[in-house]
Chains A and B, each alone.
Chain A
Amino acid sequence: MFASHLQPNLSSGSVERVPTRFGYGEGLLEAGKRDERVVALCCDLTESTRTHLFAQAYPNRFVQVGIAEQNMASVASGMAAMGKIPFIASYAMFSPGRNWEQVRTTIAYNNSNVKVVGAHAGISVGPDGATHQAIEDIAIMRVIPNMVVITPADVHEARKATLAAAKYDGPIYLRLGRSETPVVTTPESPFEIGKAQLLYTRNTALDKKIGIIVTGSLLYNALMAAEELQKQGIGASVLHMATIKPFDGKAVQAFAAEHGALVTVEEHQITGGLGGAVAEHLAECCPTRIARVGVNDRFGESGEPDELIAYFGLDVPAIVAAAKRVVS
């Protein structure tokens, strides 16, 4: 059963699709209106990261850094040291990909109030191919002390995450996608940094059961997989972890205890991301059978987003099959 605050008629198969980066653009503009300390920096990708909305409204608080991601990260650190709240945006492959050390030392080690916004993450970037498909970014950001890691599921959540990031005092990584992502939540759906949310509750009348933990753009696929599993007689629940760090271990632990076996779903390498985080946590407290759905130690490829999601085994049938492998 879907959580009551989600979009109505999700099971009908027709769903609106909007890129998560659009939510960032709106959220940044709103954050800028609410707090004049908010500044934005960009590396020659102002429109595709949707930073242009802020840049047009507040030209005095926007810095066009040029194609120089390392400089952007450290310039933002300097601005934060003077009391600003900088949002820095580029494609995830370049920021935090190329500028990882600057993010680590000048932002995280300084505990600077900088928000690193990585757009075009995941293989759903599409035709641009592997060079532009960041599928390692959660891993490299999750290991940095002080860093918060958020991967919003849709446009509404991206907007709320952006506003929450502006209010939070400290470094944050916000992961966004390029392609049109199913809109699952509503403007009224709750969002809180660090809090996992149960978005689909299994039918307890069914004996077999599986828990699906998902982050980011694949939320809709996870929900559809849960519907399908229930049709096939397996009770399935979906826990959405928009925040990967700080890790909501309590929620994951309870979810694991309730279901006995889990599937993790993410548009990222299966090592180091959500699957890795869940496995690390449960291995220490309560070993649980897990199947990880994600990219398995490969680079991406060119193709249309939906083709790639199917090709790399991140679609609904792949999640259903993974669930069946581990179902108790």
Chain B
Amino acid sequence: MQYLTSEEIKALERKANSIRQSIIEMLTEAGSGHTAGPLGMADVFTLLYFGIMKHDPENPEWPERDRLVLSNGHICPVLYATLAHAGYFPVQELLTLRKLGSRLQGHPHRGTLPGIETSSGPLGSGISQAVGMALAERIDNPYSSKFFYCLTGDGELNEGQIWEALMLAGKEKLNNLVVIVDRNGIQIDGYTKDVMPLEPLTEKFESFGFDVQEVDGHNIRALNDAIGKAQSIYGQPSVIIAHTIASKGVDVFERDFRWHGNPPGKGPEDRVEKSKQAEVALQKLRSLAGTIKAQDID
């Protein structure tokens, strides 16, 4: 596990803030897409790409890289923004999101944009793909130090295929697999506890053979510690339940499931009128100046 100094953590927080601003800009320009998930996962993505993963933006197909599978493909604005800020492609290209001819498809497509490991969008298939990658790696190199990260949403856990994949990962004791769940408590139709209750979630994962950690998904140091521990687990796959706040960073959008699938300019109007949503969001983020702190995690 890599120790992060306070300075390094502050730098990562500033980076996450820049990525959030890019997310607001690209969604506003696109006029459609998902806001809550991408903003909520900005800290996790920033830490993975700027602090944890072995990867090389100059050489996206570097065989020794760690792999990141985004299972809940609809939060791809955060993946795209992170990849652009990491140098995979120009930040300016983020403004082509969802436009005809763009490499930034509405849901990720492998083969067009550097850094995308797999196409995703239909929910539930990402853990399976990460399991396949981890199995293939073990055949070639049982002592490999590569890690396979799969990011999934809590609503996505409704899908049956998720549990098929977890069963196989547990059976195969894939210690090179790290699943990170965005536990923001919302999905399109409402709160996850109303649509399809998931608790007791930790016990569910444990019963499938996983090492389970719960962590504040906006606390970079806690996340770094959790991923470090997940990497060191022997003979078991890991899951990190990252408790996040939907739309984190823009307080007037936070925790509201109506921001799941709407971009700034088309979201609920009771707190900010549509025409001002993008500008207000950017102002809020700029005023935070990289000082997002963990708070009030349910």
Q: Using CB atoms and an 8 Å cutoff, list the residues of chain A in contact with chain B.
A: 39, 60-61, 63, 65-66, 68, 70-71, 73-84, 86, 101-102, 105-106, 109-111
Contact = CB atoms under 8 A, between A and B. Distances in A.
25 contacts: A39-B139, A60-B139, A63-B168, A66-B171, A70-B124, A70-B128, A74-B125, A74-B126, A74-B129, A74-B132, A75-B131, A77-B132, A78-B129, A78-B136, A79-B132, A79-B136, A81-B117, A81-B129, A83-B136, A101-B122, A102-B122, A105-B121, A105-B122, A105-B125, A110-B111
A63 B138 CA distance: 12
B164 A71 contact: yes
Contacts of B128: 70-71, 73-75, 77-78, 102, 106
Contacts of A84: 136, 139
B49 to A, nearest CB: 19
B139 A77 contact: no
Contact of B168 (A60, A71, A86, A101): A71
Task: Enumerate the 6 nearest inter-chain pairs by beta-carbon distance, A residue then B residue, closest first.
Answer: A78-B132, A74-B128, A82-B136, A71-B164, A78-B129, A75-B132
Contact of A78 (B121, B131, B164, B167): B131
Contacts of A82: 132-133, 136-137, 140
A75 B69 CA distance: 12
Contact of A77 (B118, B121, B122, B140): B118
B165 to A, nearest CB: 5
B139 A70 contact: no
Contacts of A74: 125-126, 128-129, 132, 161, 165
A83 B126 CA distance: 18
B119 A75 contact: no
B148 to A, nearest CB: 8
Contact-size category for B: 20 to 34
A60 B129 CA distance: 19
A68 B139 CA distance: 21
Nearest to A114: B132
Interface of B: 67, 69, 109-111, 117-122, 124-126, 128-137, 139-140, 160-161, 164-165, 167-168, 171
Nearest to B116: A110
A66 B167 contact: yes
Contacts, number: 105
A71 B139 CA distance: 19
A84 B118 CA distance: 15
The interface residues of chain B, by DSSP majority, are classed as helix
A90 to B, nearest CB: 13
A79 B135 contact: yes
A98 to B, nearest CB: 11
A65 B165 CA distance: 9
Contact of B136 (A39, A65, A70, A71): A39
A73 B129 CA distance: 9
B130 A61 contact: no
Nearest to A76: B132
Given A105-B125, A110-B110, 7 more contacts: A70-B128, A71-B165, A75-B165, A83-B136, A84-B136, A102-B161, A109-B109
Contact of A106 (B119, B135, B160, B171): B119
A63 B119 contact: no
Contacts of B167: 66, 68
Contacts of A65: 164, 168
A61 B140 CA distance: 10
Given A66-B167, A68-B167, A109-B109, A75 B129 contact: yes
Contacts of A63: 135, 168
Contacts of A79: 132-133, 135-136
- Which of A66, A78, A101, A110 has the most B CB atoms < 10 Å from its CB? A78
A61 B136 CA distance: 9
Nearest to B162: A71
B20 to A, nearest CB: 29
